[in-house]
Chains A and B, each alone.
Chain A
Amino acid sequence: MKKAFVILFILLSISGCKKTPDIPAGDLGGGQIFDPSTYNPAKYLVSVSNPTPDATQAQVPVIIACHGYGATTFEWDEFRAWSAGRTDYSISQVLLDGHGVTYDQFKNSTWHDWQSSIVNEYTKLVQEGYKNIDLVGSSTSCTLILDLLHSGFFNNTATTVHIFFVDPIIIPSDKFLSVVGVVGPMLGYVESDGAPGEEKYYYHYRPQETLQQLDDVLDVVRGELQDGITLPKNVYLKVYKSIRDPTADPVSVVLVYNGTHTSTGGNIDLDMIDGDIHVFTRLDLVPGVTAQDQANQVYAFNDITMRIK
């Protein structure tokens, strides 16, 4: 009997490892649809569209907008649309490495790869002479940026870096992520519950390898928060968190708030948002959007752009 279970386990594991989803051509990851920033980076990245700013342009704040796990630049398109015509700041929409491309490229990416895109854009903008660089992250991007804060990446910034987190994830709402290391290889991939239309902008099929990477970075940053992250002198951090969230458990904000302090030992700024949408700043394609949801989005956009001045 014991032998039968062992054989069954091995068979399941092997069958899981070989399993690749049949992705429709019209879906992200299917090999035909890619994030538009991959073939038109100048439209999305300030470092590409204006690599040689003059003295005035260099002073205009640049907000690096970073999306979450499994997402694409689509996640911050509404912020860009809302900001149309604004000249007091510009937006650089980063595509996390491994995202917005094929399923296999996503599958082979690590959380360090995802983070590198944020580092690269920030570093390029600094090298090009931009003086006021801010960041807004959603979901897993917040986790990646917290790790950068812990590593001292922003320690030597000359001007204030304003960092904004929208629905940061430290504790997932789906608690079965905790056993992805065991269950993942048996499954090969997991299907996400996306609304109609989202399959063009979000990976519907998530390789178990990437879920393990997600679990890893959540563990790492949770440990960093437990030990305590002190913001450098010139870094400002504010968090906006939905009080109900099907992806990033709301308790994540407690860990971020209690685990992060300003250089003078104070608390970070925080807004608890009355809503139940994960990344409440992205409402496009979300079913059942209410007037409160729209008000939450506009509030966050206004608050962020007001604070970077």
Chain B
Amino acid sequence: MKKNAYLLIILSGICVCRAKAQSSILDVGPRVQKAIDLYYENGVSLGYSSKKLMPDRVYFGFSYYTSRLGTAYHSNAIKQDNYLLSAAYYFRRNHIIRPLLRANAGYFSADYGSPIFDMLPSKTMLLSVDGGLCFQTRLPLKISTTFGYNLITSNGLNNVPGTIYPFFYQVTLSWNIFQHANRTALKGI
């Protein structure tokens, strides 16, 4: 019995150590974004950091955010959708406050609601950069807030949809579901 208890403690210790040193991270959570002087476009963000590639420093992500869940909800604002892939670097690992820099590329689509506007540009590539701070708590919870700049915007003549504004800020709350899964696995031992 005593032997089994020692074995259990050793095994648990190994599992925790393995989890801390080698776990990949998958952050998932809601994203709230505001274009300076224009719409709220809200949605969801995913961020993945591989245990094999600068774990918890380099993140690859996907975000979907839309005015349908923001300003266009129950209003006449334009319904527009943004799909974004990103690559980010988080500084100061193992600190609570971590600066981050991110580059994004994606796709934008607006629904003008009537075929009479078919001649107006409604789709474009998205290209942006943003940077800010991530508050990394002891829980698998991150709160990140960034300020960003869209490199592709309309000037009224260049066939780019008119409701992409240059400057934006966003707040994302995300939960590391891999860490949650690891803890569940440990509980099951």
Contact = CB atoms under 8 A, between A and B. Distances in A.
A255 B36 contact: no
A249 B166 contact: no
A175 B156 CA distance: 10
Contact of B156 (A225, A226, A248): A248
A245 to B, nearest CB: 5
Give the secondary structure class of B's interface. loop
B157 A171 contact: no
Given A178-B165, A243-B119, A173 B76 contact: no
Contact of B116 (A250, A255, A259, A270): A270
Contact of A226 (B76, B110, B120, B155): B76
A245 B154 CA distance: 10
* A178, A243, A247, A259 — most chain B CB neighbours (10 Å): A178
A102 to B, nearest CB: 29
Given A173-B155, A178-B35, 9 more contacts: A171-B163, A177-B37, A244-B156, A246-B157, A251-B110, A255-B78, A258-B76, A258-B112, A258-B114
Nearest to B155: A173
B117 interface: yes
A276 B76 contact: no
B162 interface: yes
Interface residues of B, number: 28
B42 to A, nearest CB: 16
A174 interface: yes
B162 A250 contact: yes
Contact of B75 (A174, A227, A252, A253): A227
B37 A276 contact: no
Contact of A251 (B75, B116, B163): B163
B148 to A, nearest CB: 13
28 contacts: A171-B162, A171-B163, A173-B162, A175-B153, A175-B155, A175-B166, A178-B36, A178-B37, A179-B37, A215-B37, A226-B77, A244-B156, A245-B156, A247-B156, A249-B156, A250-B120, A250-B156, A251-B120, A251-B154, A251-B162, A252-B162, A253-B117, A254-B78, A254-B113, A257-B114, A259-B76, A270-B116, A276-B157
A228 B72 CA distance: 12
Interface string A176-193: 111100000000000000
A11 interface: no
Nearest to A224: B76
B167 interface: yes
Contacts, number: 86
B71 interface: yes
Interface residues of A, number: 33
A88 interface: no
Interface in B134-171: 153-157, 161-163, 165-167
- Sorted nearest first, the 5 A-B pairs with minimum C-beta distance are A173-B156, A251-B162, A178-B37, A249-B162, A226-B75
Contacts of A255: 76-78
Nearest to B114: A257
Nearest to A228: B76
A272 interface: yes
A303 interface: no
Nearest to A227: B75
B96 interface: no
A272 B156 CA distance: 14
Contacts of A276: 157
Contacts of B120: 243, 250-251, 254
Contacts of A245: 156-157
B38 interface: yes
A284 interface: no
Contacts of B113: 254, 258
A176 B112 contact: no
B116 A227 contact: no
B166 A173 contact: no
A54 interface: no
A3 B73 CA distance: 43
Contacts of B166: 175-176, 178-179
Interface string A251-290: 1111101110000000000101000100000000000000
B112 to A, nearest CB: 5
A173 B157 contact: yes
